[in-house]
Amino acid sequence: MFDLPKDVLFNLERLSKACDVNKNGAKFYSKLSESYRNQDFKELDFSQAIAYALGRMPATYSVIKYVLEKFKNTRESFSNILDVGAGVGALKIALKDCEVAYTALEKSETMRKVFRILNGENTTIYSEDFHKFRNKNRYQVVFASYFINEIENKKATLRKIFELAEQYVFILEPGTPNGYKNILEAKNLAANIGWYPFLPCATQNCNLNSKDWCHFSIRLPRTKYHANLKNATLPYEDEKFCYIIFSKKKTEFFCNNTIIKRPIKKSGHVIFDVCTNNGIQRIVRTDKASKKFNWGDSL
């Protein structure tokens, strides 16, 4: 589990009390969830932005930390990053202990306000709409988490993301068929402009059954405020997500074998569905070490 840092939780709780989010938070969050399901994205007021941070930030932070850890395990690195659709700054918090030059792009004024409260005033945050963003700089990494799903012109958005990146592109999406569809659209574009899937994919093309979708899951603890917003009783939440990292160069890690479903563990063997450079394959292993592998690991 990746828990939000205690100072961030403290600031979120302080904000929720100041804006009386505890009283109206569940109503705010219910409306937000409905808007996201209906792809009806509107500017939030300050209280709604705090409710969003309390309700979504634990999950988005956990997913971002998970993906950054997977990247770190490849022993690749980067020194500067552009966070498009930065929201309230989950990526900035996840990079807190890393020596990385961070730049954000977030058009929502209230989101930027909460971002500043949680991350301080020293971060460069551009306020333009992404399609109007004009910057001569290119970045080693362009990071788009839960962003493509909110954009109407996805092809133009993806193309611009790749144009701004020098080495890597990170795309994180909800773990839904639509989220996976966005991942596939990014893969198709990448193949046409000379970028390579790096993680978790091992192939340019995907032979997954058309009724299925590649996604992953991470379990995170619910804070008291988190549970209240969602009227939840369980002390944890399972966040489903899709992700892909692209590399400008083809690397040896391109041949990784990622477990794309929860392993089926039997008494004498384990069954894995694995993304290999020969496509999706089902692999059966009988060695004791196989019991330790989990959904999302490289086999």
Look at residue 279 in the predicted model and tell me its pLDDT: 85
Look at residue 26 in the predicted model and tell me its pLDDT: 60
Domain ranges for the chain? 6-256, 257-299
Q: Hey, is 106 helix, strand or coil?
A: coil
Look at residue 203 in the predicted model and tell me its pLDDT: 79
Per-residue pLDDT of the chain (299 residues; tens, 9 = 90+): 688 888 888 888 887 776 666 666 566 656 666 655 656 556 677 878 888 888 888 899 999 999 999 999 888 999 999 999 999 999 999 998 889 999 999 999 999 999 999 988 889 999 988 888 887 788 999 999 999 988 888 999 999 999 999 999 999 999 999 999 999 999 999 999 999 999 998 777 787 877 889 999 999 887 776 676 676 777 788 999 999 999 998 776 556 789 999 999 998 899 999 998 888 899 999 998 899 999 999 88
C-alpha angle 195-196-198 in degrees, rounded to nearest 5: 135
Q: Which helix (H) or strand (E) holds 241?
A: strand 236-247
pTM of the model: 0.90
194: left (phi over 0), alpha (psi -120 to 50) or beta: left
- Pairing status of strand 264-265 against strand 270-276: antiparallel
Look at residue 218 in the predicted model and tell me its pLDDT: 93
Look at residue 34 in the predicted model and tell me its pLDDT: 61
Look at residue 211 in the predicted model and tell me its pLDDT: 84
Look at residue 151 in the predicted model and tell me its pLDDT: 84
Distance CA 283, CA 157 (A): 37
Distance CA 298, CA 47 (A): 41
Look at residue 33 in the predicted model and tell me its pLDDT: 60
Q: Which residue do the tokens 């909800």 mark?
A: 174
**CA 273 from centroid of its chain's CA atoms:** 22
Q: Does the domain spanning 6-256 belong to CATH 2.30.30.830?
A: no
Look at residue 39 in the predicted model and tell me its pLDDT: 60
Task: Compute the CA torsion angle 71, 209, 185, 238 (nearest 10 deg).
Answer: -50
